[in-house]
Amino acid sequence: MDNKNNPWKKDFPILDQKVNDEDLIYLDNAATTQKPQTVINDITDFYTHDNANVHRGVHTLAERSTEQFEQAREKIQHFINAEHSDEIIYTKGTTDSLNIIARSYGEENIEEGDEIVISYLEHHSNLVPWQQLAIKKHATLKYIELDNDGFVDLDDAKKKITDKTKIVSIAHVSNVLGVINPVKEIAKLAHQHGAVMVVDGAQSVPHMPVDVQNLDCDFLAFSGHKMLGPTGIGVLYGKEELLNQMSPVDFGGEMINFVHLYETDWNDLPWKFEAGTPNVGGAIVLGNAVDYLNEIGMDKIFDYEKKLVDYVLPKLLDIDGLTVYGPHDPKKHTSVISFNLDNLHPHDLATGLDMEGVAVRAGHHCAQPLMKYLGVSATARASFYFYNTFDDADTLVKAIIATKEFFKNGTI
């Protein structure tokens, strides 16, 4: 499929530009995705016609914005197949969502000697909150090993999750290795031992159908900006029964039912967890981004990205001196692909690619323990989305080869 046959690329105006005199090829979608014109227009439309604070005015604009804000919540509910709309809490993003779980459920349920189980491939935002909770509560933080392909290893999960385990928290899709972890099976294990299952969906929800009832996870965290929406808006899904038992972590307006002089009654879900003026425009526009994704269909997005990986991964593996991390079988690899070129720092590789117009990320990808586990200090990473074409994949391969040639006599 060439650029002309990808029906979606043209919807993203930012992609139609030159970088260093070359066509921009944006392959940093795991960091953040670009926005289609319709979503960009929705931001302007909201602030041009409907902007008002929510849940507190009887005037027409306040009613309009409140209605759209709550409609967006229902769109997100259906998108991840949550049972109730009050299980969808607006947050700032995945990091915020995970911190809320740690500060509320974690603080209330973890005691000395309890275990929290994560894995070696977690993003810092699904690691540091649990690490700090474990330190504070004198609990034990345990790491599940990865198998040879980089998947969270189920056999090791069976050993690490015990009757002392209270919380298990795992990335659905790794932002470095591109693996889809067996979170449904791990949730089952967690539940057999009476623990709750948290899924970090930052890299899965934008790319594949995610059904929280099917996964039977207790919590799911994800970010709007990685799925065509604006920055500063994200979602915390939690099972209603658990959220109802949990205390809010932020206090102020919106999250109260009645404030007495010396005590306060909390508001109902989901507002109990949404103190202060929320990101009204962000939430509404995220709902519109969900509409755009639904119009294509998440199955179709997943299948298209699979075809891109089928096409590009063997070509990358063929480049002499290039090490690709994660599975080498394209069927096991999602569209996040990390690699290193022999004798070249990944920052130099990424700078070389930028000279060819190709945007990739280089660094530790907020996963320093994983870098240590892999025995590297950093990697370069190309991450595709459905608006990337097979031509983009070819350009990446050519640009890596060109960069290799450029640096062949060393970097100094």
DSSP-derived letter for residue 180 is B
User: How far apart are CB 64 and ligand 7TS at their closest, in Å?
Assistant: 28
Q: What is 27-42 written as a DSSP string? A: -BTTT-----HHHHHH
Q: What is 357-377 written as a DSSP string? A: TEE-EEE-TT-HHHHHHHT-S
User: How far apart are CB 128 and ligand 7TS at their closest, in Å?
Assistant: 11
Which C-beta is closer to ligand 7TS: that of 93 or that of 287? 93
User: How far apart are CB 332 and ligand 7TS at their closest, in Å?
Assistant: 18
Which C-beta is closer to ligand 7TS: that of 103 or that of 123? 123
AA letter at 7: P
User: How far apart are CB 363 and ligand 7TS at their closest, in Å?
Assistant: 8
Do residues 254 and 243 make contact, with C-beta atoms less than 8 angstroms apart? no
Stretch that binds ligand 7TS, among 7-15, 19-27, 199-207, 256-264 (CB under 6 A): 199-207
Q: Is 95 in the site for ligand 7TS (CB under 6 A)?
A: yes
As given in the structure block, the two tokens for residue 148 are: 């040879």
Active site residue 366: yes
Look-up of token digits 């006599």: 409
With CB under 6 A as the contact rule, the residue among 202, 217, 309, 313 that binds ligand 7TS is 202
Do residues 203 and 171 make contact, with C-beta atoms less than 8 angstroms apart? yes
3-state secondary structure of 141: strand
User: How far apart are CB 351 and ligand 7TS at their closest, in Å?
Assistant: 17
- 249, 366, 376, 401: the catalytic one is 366
CA–CA dist 227, 39 (Å, integer): 11
Site string for ligand 7TS, 358-377 (x = CB under 6 A): ---x---xx-----------
CA atoms within 13 A on the CB side of 177: 29
CA–CA dist 148, 299 (Å, integer): 28
CA–CA dist 107, 97 (Å, integer): 15
Residues binding ligand 7TS: number (CB under 6 A)? 17
Which C-beta is closer to ligand 7TS: that of 272 or that of 365? 365
**Catalytic positions, written as ranges:** 366
Binding site for ligand 7TS (CB under 6 A): 30-31, 93-95, 123, 125-126, 171, 175, 200, 202-203, 223, 361, 365-366
